[in-house]
Chains A and B, each alone.
Chain A
Amino acid sequence: MTTRRDFLKEVGGGLVVVLVASRVPALATLGAEPSLHAGEADDTDRISAWLHIDERGAVTVYTGKVEFGQGIRTSLTQHVAEELRAPVESIRLVMGDTELTPFDMGTFGSRSTPQMGLQLRRVGASARELLIGLAAERWKVERSRLVAENGRIVDTQTKRALGFGELTAGRRLTETITADVAPKPATAWTIAGSSLPKVGARDIVTGKHQYTSDMRLPGMLYGRVLRAPQMGATLANVDTSAASAVKSAVVVHDGTFVGVAAPSSAEAKRALEAIRPTWTPPSEPQPSSTSVHEHLKRSSSRASGRQAGGEGGGGAQPFVHGNVDAALASADHKLARTYTVAYIAHVPLEPRAALAQWTRGAEGDRLTVWTGTQRPFAVRDELVRALGLVPERVRVIVPDTGSGYGGKHTGEVAVEAARLARGAGKPVKLVWSREEEFRWAYFRPAGVIDVGAAVSEDGAITAWTFDNYNSGPAAIRPSYAIANQRVAFHPSDSPLRQGSYRGLAATANNFAREMHVDELARLVSMDPLAFRVKNIEDARLRAVLEAAAEKFGWGKKPERGNGVGIACGFEKGGYIAACAEVAADRASGAVKIVRVVAAFDCGAVVNPAGLRSQISGGIVQGIGGALFEAVDFENGVVRNARLAQYRVPRFLDVPEIAVILINRKDQPSMGAGETPIIAIAPAVGAAIYDATGIRVRSLPMARNGLGASTT
């Protein structure tokens, strides 16, 4: 065995590190999960696939979901603690490990809370009942006098107790998960429903938590990948001789893939820069950001409906109800408008990263990749396909990751790291640069949305047409009661690689819808809140709207010529309403959001503090897309591929935010990572209009001030 010190000398290529105390390599424990559990994960109707209790009572929970900052490591722990009646500290979650955790589609679509939460509650309840049964057998008493509490089964008559670990003695709990025991209703929760601090917070504030980009294996090299000068360019030929001459760098050339690996990132960079490629540009010029909306609309008829990157989302059926044309023909008032949204980038603060390690076993090569992806099993399959492997020999492990927002569904960085590691014969870590993130990740789709509506003199919406080109079908149907509707999503030919994003197209669709509704209200001289309430059927949607309006002081005139706006939306089981006050100056075009009040209902609240943070975080992120975020591109080249050029929300952009939680303990808990983002843009858009009389129908609304956006 090489010691830490020898290893540094070895890989450092002459590097001398003095006084670094020999310490356990940070990774010694990673990948060394109890192999006991490997192979369990397939039997998903058994408790053992999901939960293990060791002889000392430590509980390990296995879930294919991953933690990206949305807080499910904490909320799922609360659910297990609640059902199992085990202390929170005794529970540890193993997440997103294709060898240890049951198969999972991925962490997106706000499904972790409603689906995984419920699943783990059932698992916890089943395990608890099993433990009670074991104790009853052991003591030869009636089950009914036994209760589970605080990691033990207690006999209520004799007060004797046995710890969970003593009862199971570490054996696998192969019993079937039962549907007979109903999980506790939210009204009886004591651990779930409370603001348990984030699990793992201490490791984050001390810098100990190892994100993928922080990991290190003995002998590991740092990778870099050769990129084309423009999208669609192909490699004609490449001269790697100078790069190979860079001390200790390895050049990996594998088909069209060219990359390097070296003992430090600086050497890897130098080696990459020494590569001399020749590129063939794509044969046809590509649309630019200035002409993209016409392009998307024009190309929609010939698009295949395929959406590269992410989970797709094309191909929704048009929705038709009543007779739109007749309703439009006989309408009191009609209004048709076009709205557009730009491509935006996720900008996860931790760029894509992967660490790949090949090991040789008796049955052949095995590949382990640590990577921050929202879809570990899909990335495993991507590795299998790209590298010609079998799934049993590929393991993907997802450490808690530096965010994703829908931007890390794919495995390109994992495949690249695996290629480099295979070529170099050593583990390789590859971390994309910020610039690579901007250029080569996928984007939230741009789109064009045509909206038409008819409204009666007394303020009832009587007809609604809605055509979305390219941005996607999420939350495309109105949450208003409208008798005559025609709603359609038209996939287009996207010039940029596009995919999932927090809230998907719900942001674009809700922007177009709510801006249109605001304009309709003014058309019939109604207050936008009263107009909505009149047209909403769903009591929960009305409740969030009224709660936000009340706290905001809707109806009071804002100060100093500020404008106010209101909007609401429903998506993925969550109801959101937001009121915004904006200071906007018509002459200078400057826009500042002064305050926001948001009300949110996603059923029974599992962790109020975590939920508030998700809501305010969604609003902050939504402000970026609402006001200034947009990807500029021209002929296959992203023009603003630096953080200095692509503006994201900062401290100074953040308004005073008040969040109202509507805790519906009688309703199932739904996800909250996405829906809170969808109401902010139209609320701000309406407020801009209120302040200035300018209707901005494009996102972002005030990138270079208001004037520039409206031209």
Chain B
Amino acid sequence: MLIELDVNGRRQRVDVDPDRTLLSVLREELELTGSKYGCGEGECGACTVLLGARAVRSCQTPVAKAAAAPVTTIEGLEREGRLHPLQQAFVDEGAMQCGYCTAGMIMAGVSLLKSTPSPTTDQIVRGMNGNVCRCGAYPQIVAAIERVASEGKKP
């Protein structure tokens, strides 16, 4: 089936089985491998992308459903070579070890900051709890989100 997607501001058509996951289409057909496979069961958040302003698990999203709203992946955050403030904050806070969870963490964090621009620590912790960092960089990830919130930059 021919499906039209808006990914990172570009319209693209893919001819795939509509049941395929958005994650596999992003990674295999569109070569956007920034979104990761960590579990395929909706439990780790490594595959998180934005559908509209909402963070979704792309491993649980049939690609046909993603045609409904613009998709933003980690590759779509940079603007003219400038990192999104949360990407920059992850670098500055050292909020990664192996970095495999990072894309999903940033996308979940961007969505959190969109809905709650000045979250409390508790709101961050609860809002991010669906994302796993097996390296345990959680304290640094919380610090990165707090840094953006306190800088008051527009997320």
Contacts and interface: CB of A to CB of B under 8 A. Distances in A.
Interface of A: 12, 14-20, 23, 26, 68-71, 195, 197-198, 200-202, 204-211, 213-214, 216, 222, 264-266, 347-351, 400-403, 405, 431, 433-434, 609-610, 613-614, 616-621, 642-644, 648-652, 654, 657
A207 B138 contact: no
B14 A349 contact: no
A16 B2 contact: yes
B37 A69 contact: no
Contact of B75 (A207, A402, A613, A618): A207
Nearest to B100: A402
A204 B44 contact: no
Give the dominant DSSP class at A's interface. Answer: loop
A482 to B, nearest CB: 33
Given A201-B90, A651-B138, A617 B33 contact: no
Contacts of A649: 136, 138
Interface string B19-44: 01000100111111111111111011
Given A207-B74, A434-B41, A350 B12 contact: no
B135 A16 contact: no
B53 interface: no
B44 A643 contact: yes
14 contacts: A15-B29, A20-B30, A20-B31, A70-B97, A71-B97, A198-B96, A205-B91, A264-B24, A265-B28, A348-B134, A349-B135, A621-B135, A643-B44, A651-B125
B20 to A, nearest CB: 5
Interface string B89-114: 01110101111111100100000000
A347 B41 CA distance: 14
Interface centre among B46, B97, B130 (most CB of A within 10 A): B97
B125 to A, nearest CB: 5
B136 A616 contact: yes
List the 7 shortest-distance A-B pairs measured between CB atoms, nearest first.
A207-B34, A69-B98, A620-B136, A402-B100, A69-B97, A204-B99, A214-B33
A652 B129 contact: yes
A349 B44 contact: yes
Interface centre among B2, B103, B126 (most CB of A within 10 A): B103
Given A198-B94, A205-B83, A651-B142, A211 B100 contact: yes
Nearest to B141: A651
Contacts of B106: 205
A350 B38 contact: yes
B140 interface: yes
Given A264-B20, A651-B126, 7 more contacts: A197-B94, A264-B28, A348-B98, A402-B98, A613-B140, A617-B137, A643-B132
A210 B100 CA distance: 10
Nearest to B134: A349
Question: What is the interface residue range for chain B against chain A?
Answer: 35 or more
B87 interface: yes
B67 interface: no
Give the dominant DSSP class at B's interface. Answer: loop
Interface centre among A70, A403, A610, A621 (most CB of B within 10 A): A403
A652 B103 CA distance: 20
Given A16-B15, A434-B38, A349 B103 contact: no
Given A206-B78, A348-B134, A648-B132, A434 B40 contact: yes
B73 A207 contact: yes
Nearest to B125: A651
B154 interface: no
A200 B31 CA distance: 20
A621 B134 contact: yes
A248 to B, nearest CB: 13
Contacts of B39: 434, 642-643
Interface centre among B44, B128, B142 (most CB of A within 10 A): B44
A210 B2 contact: no
B14 to A, nearest CB: 6
Given A19-B13, A208-B34, A652-B129, A349 B100 contact: yes
Contacts of B138: 620, 649-651, 654
A643 B43 contact: yes
B38 A349 contact: yes
A69 B99 contact: yes
A610 B20 CA distance: 39
A568 B65 CA distance: 53
Interface string B136-155: 11111110000000000000
A643 B60 CA distance: 14
B64 to A, nearest CB: 14
B16 interface: yes
B14 A16 contact: yes
Contact of B91 (A201, A207, A403): A201
A26 B31 contact: yes
A349 B41 contact: no
Contacts of A266: 17, 20, 24
Nearest to A16: B15
Contact of B24 (A200, A265, A648, A657): A265
Contacts of B35: 207
B133 interface: yes
A213 B100 CA distance: 11
Nearest to A67: B98
Contacts of A197: 91-92, 94
A609 B96 CA distance: 11
Contacts of B94: 195, 197-198, 201, 609-610, 613
A440 to B, nearest CB: 16
A648 B134 CA distance: 8
Contacts of A433: 40
